[in-house]
Structure 1
Amino acid sequence: MANTYTQIHIQAVFAVQNRQSLIKKEWKDELFKYITGIIQNHGHKVLQINGMPDHIHILFGMRPTQSLSDLMKQIKQDSSKWINNKEFVNDKFSWQAGFGAFSYAKSEVPNVINYIKNQEHYHKSITFQDEYLQLLKAFNIEFDERYILKSVQ
């Protein structure tokens, strides 16, 4: 689109189906590169990606050429298929329905990058569910408790 100028920074967060710890250290970097490729192929720019065995965080600059929901659907669909084709897990891999998305000013981007880089450190003292609830509350996002990610029993 000619004469369209934007600065949109989004942190997307989503979990493995049933919050299972299926993302293994042996292949997570390859997964993150694959997801980065999906995002870049849609014209967006990945600023940071990292996660834990049960979820991931992606900070990216988003272009107004596609809806966020369509991009997230593509990321989850293509990466699930890729994981299954690579046979990284014994059963069928899938992502949990839904996602969290949070927007940031350019001045906040370095702190968000640092936060995502240091996921392992943060999760020594906080669960993913608590982290996710903190994000929702910090951004004043109304939510229904029935649909918040629950810990695996």
Structure 2
Amino acid sequence: MSYVKIWIHAVWATKHRQPVLQPPVLAQLCRHIRENAKFKEIHIDRINGHHDHIHVLMLLKSDYGISKQMQLLKGESAFWANKMKLVSGNFEWGDKYFAASVSESRLPFVRRYIDNQQAHHGKRSFREEFEAFAKGIGYDGQDME
């Protein structure tokens, strides 16, 4: 077994940025993503979101690349949300996501940031937030859907 300790801050949005992640839905979905990740031996340190997106601070599992880990979290959680009829209509995540490595020294900052999503988004939109995250990586200005 290999030992890997790569912290990842991942962000993904609902399809067409639909604001379906209201507090009761968000709480259930976050709880389920955490439980599913634990079952798959993916360590999630923090998870939270706002009306149309989710933030996760997690360790990258040594068996997966980031795309596989994201597929496992996003795909399974959308399937579960639809099975549980968590929202009216069909629930989907957008195709895109943002992921960045986080140094040990920045973990406290990222944890606070994820924990305080509701207050944060009272001051800054998701689009502004994403553009700041994506600066310098070839982001083309398209939404994350």
TM-score (norm 1): 0.89
Aligned with 1:120 (options 93, 113, 118): 118
Per the TM alignment, residue 77 of structure 1 is displaced from its structure 2 partner at its CA by 1.2
Q: Give the total of aligned pairs.
A: 145
Q: Answer whether contact 2:3 2:62 (CA < 8 A) is retained.
A: no
Answering whether residue 127 of structure 2 is matched by residue 129 of structure 1, we say yes
Q: Which residue pairs with 2:140 in the alignment? A: 144
Amino acid at match of 1:6: V
Structure exhibiting the larger radius of gyration computed from Cα positions: 1
Q: Answer whether contact 1:83 1:93 (CA < 8 A) is retained.
A: yes
Per the TM alignment, residue 99 of structure 1 is displaced from its structure 2 partner at its CA by 0.4
Per the TM alignment, residue 108 of structure 1 is displaced from its structure 2 partner at its CA by 0.7
Aligned with 1:62 (options 42, 60, 63): 60
How many Å separate the matches in 2 of 1:106 and 1:115?
15
Higher strand share: 2
Q: Answer whether contact 2:97 2:144 (CA < 8 A) is retained.
A: no
Q: Answer whether contact 1:32 1:49 (CA < 8 A) is retained.
A: yes
CA-atom RMSD in angstroms: 1.4
Amino acid at match of 1:130: E
Among the aligned pairs, what percent are the same residue?
30
Answering whether residue 82 of structure 2 is matched by residue 104 of structure 1, we say no
Determine helix, strand or coil for the equivalent of 1:96: strand
Q: How does 1:69-88 map to 2 (within 5 A)?
A: 69-88=67-86
